Amino acid sequence: MDADYVVIGGGVVGLSLAWGLLQRGKRVTVIDGEDRALRASRGNFGLVWVQSKGMSQPRYARWSQESARLWRGFAAELEENTGIAVPLEQNGGLDLHFSEDSLQSTVAKYEILKAKLNGDYPYDVLDATALRSIEPAVGPAVVGAILHHQDGHTNSLRLLTALTDDVKRLGAVILTGKRVAAIEKTNEFHLRMLDGDEVRAEKLILAAGLGAAKLGPMLGFRGLVRPQRGQVLITEKLPKTIYRPSLIARQVDEGGIQIGATNEEVGFDDDVTPEGLATLAAQAIQAYPSLAKAQLVRSWASLRVMSPDGLPIYQQSRSMPGAFLVTCHSGITLSAVHGRRMADWFEGAPDMELEVFSEDRFPLS
């Protein structure tokens, strides 16, 4: 046996899970794909986000809140171990609204969720005046916003770098450029790669994003993930213009403003389109009129890993016990709780209350 755990997928989810297991003294091998793999970990918006999650499943809201609380300590420990700063701002996040109706209907939903969370859902409803006093760049088309105090954002690329460094430092074996060809289970999991390499481990974690659709069934999972495209724009570095992230735009630590994102069902197409980018730009200018003068330096599209209801999937295989599926589209937000708590779940800790995230919740076709 090469390892206690083999983790298929070296993105933010796989690395966070590996990190937690390594901290427990487990031997871990991480298998990652090639440069041309889809790599949602590099294409995202970097939000550490609580609001709007779990509106129909409060457990997901609480899970996101737990991760948001753990994030600062998690980032600090990564920085202390690796010397790589993972910038984190948690001064709240804005949901901007262009009509009173949409604002009030969202508030109504938040109130219902807040009650289910025993009041632990700290947010303010800001009218145009209050909003502009904290976010002066917001334009007249925005009638108001919800400011949720548990929201924030980070730099995903630095998170990935720090996680990779620390996972290596903790003794993980990382194999890159690999494609899993076959998986067998006897008293251990035996993986064979397309290039002939082999890995054996007592337990296996599938954290391969959209790869779960193909690899999942090999392990007894349903693997119900589908791609959803998000196009994104990045501006030149600008003086501080936007103080809190919103779903429309945020200003990253080095000064560029990231504008996003579309929500398109186009299969595995991760190209940008002029129409998509034009729509993003138009909406950004509606929300923040001064962006009309900003030069754009980069655009890209990335594919979100979406389950049928948008919530994470945490599942142990019934046909191959010891194999676990972990997938979500909020890998950045959940990185801290994945790193700090999921090792307990893999090791069989009871009462983690993660049953709501099992594949059983999806109707059988």
Nearer Cβ to another protein, position 238 or 356? 238
Bridge partners, residue 7, by sequence: 30, 205
Nearer Cβ to another protein, position 171 or 267? 267
Residues 6+ apart with CB under 8 A from 140: 128, 289
Nearer Cβ to another protein, position 27 or 237? 237
Nearer Cβ to another protein, position 73 or 255? 255
Q: Are 18 and 30 in contact (CB under 8 A)?
A: yes
Structure tokens at 300: 């890209």
Expressed in percent and rounded to 5, the helix, strand and coil fractions of the chain are 35, 25, 40
Tell me the C-alpha to C-alpha distance, in Å, between residue 340 and each of 28, 272, 334: 16, 36, 10
Q: How far apart are CA 97 and CA 223, in angstroms?
A: 35
Strand stretches in 114-243, DSSP E? 123-127, 144-148, 152-154, 173-175, 180-185, 189-193, 198-206, 226-237
Min. distance of Cβ 253 from another protein in angstroms?
A: 5
Nearer Cβ to another protein, position 212 or 277? 277
Min. distance of Cβ 254 from another protein in angstroms?
A: 6
Q: How far apart are CA 219 and CA 106, in angstroms?
A: 40
Min. distance of Cβ 123 from another protein in angstroms?
A: 28
Min. distance of Cβ 231 from another protein in angstroms?
A: 12
Min. distance of Cβ 238 from another protein in angstroms?
A: 7
Report the interface residues with another protein, using CB under 8 A.
87, 236-240, 253-255, 271-275, 278-279, 282, 293, 295
Residues 6+ apart with CB under 8 A from 292: 285
Nearer Cβ to another protein, position 36 or 293? 293
Min. distance of Cβ 287 from another protein in angstroms?
A: 18
Q: Are 300 and 272 in contact (CB under 8 A)?
A: yes
Nearer Cβ to another protein, position 36 or 240? 240
Query: How many CB atoms sit inside 10 A of residue 364's CB?
Result: 5
Pairing of strands 323-327, 226-237: unpaired
Nearer Cβ to another protein, position 144 or 256? 256
Q: How far apart are CA 365 and CA 363, in angstroms?
A: 6
Min. distance of Cβ 145 from another protein in angstroms?
A: 24
Min. distance of Cβ 147 from another protein in angstroms?
A: 23
User: Residue 19, class by beta-carbon neighbours within 10 Å (0-12 exposed, 13-18 middle, 19+ buried)?
Assistant: buried
